[in-house]
Amino acid sequence: MSPRPSASRRTVLRGAALAPVAGLGLAACSPEGSSAKPAAPTAPVELGPESEVAKGGARLYREHNVVVSRDEKGALKAYSTICTHASCPISKLEGTKLMCFCHGSEFDAMTGEVLAPPATVPLTELEVGSENGRIVASPRN
């Protein structure tokens, strides 16, 4: 029968097991290979064909930190996907629900409203329109 590990040894082992998880959290909050802070568009940006966003649906343009949604009448809305909690870029869209993996906030891509905390402030709305069949988003004045 082997001796039971002491409390201090168990504590060290538990700490070592958690360290990689903490590292993942940090990686998720910073853009890969860059020290620049992710940002919403500061000038008009062309996102893609208008047909990409169906009525009642949404599309996440991760490379531009923008989500575009379309209501049942066909009107487009666009929001910055920089999380209003601590500025992580939101990387997941499921249906019309945006999920921030940094601390678990969720947002409605149709309205920008917060669905789950810790964020309390809605996403920043952008101007959106189409030019030659392409969706263009830009900051509001």
Phi first, then psi: what are they for 82, rounded to 5°?
-85, 120
Q: Which stretch binds ligand FES (CB under 6 A): 10-18, 49-57, 71-79, 83-91?
A: 83-91
User: What contacts 24+ positions apart, CB below 8 Å, involve 114-121?
Assistant: 114/84, 118/85, 119/83, 119/84, 119/85, 120/84, 120/85, 121/84
Q: Does 66 bind ligand FES (CB under 6 A)?
A: no
Q: How far apart are CA 29 and CA 68, in angstroms?
A: 22
Q: Which stretch binds ligand FES (CB under 6 A): 8-16, 19-27, 33-41, 78-86?
A: 78-86
83 or 109, CB closer to ligand FES?
A: 83
Q: Does 135 bind ligand FES (CB under 6 A)?
A: no
89 or 135, CB closer to ligand FES?
A: 89
Q: Does 103 bind ligand FES (CB under 6 A)?
A: yes
Q: Does 102 bind ligand FES (CB under 6 A)?
A: yes
Contact 69, 57 (CB under 8 A): yes
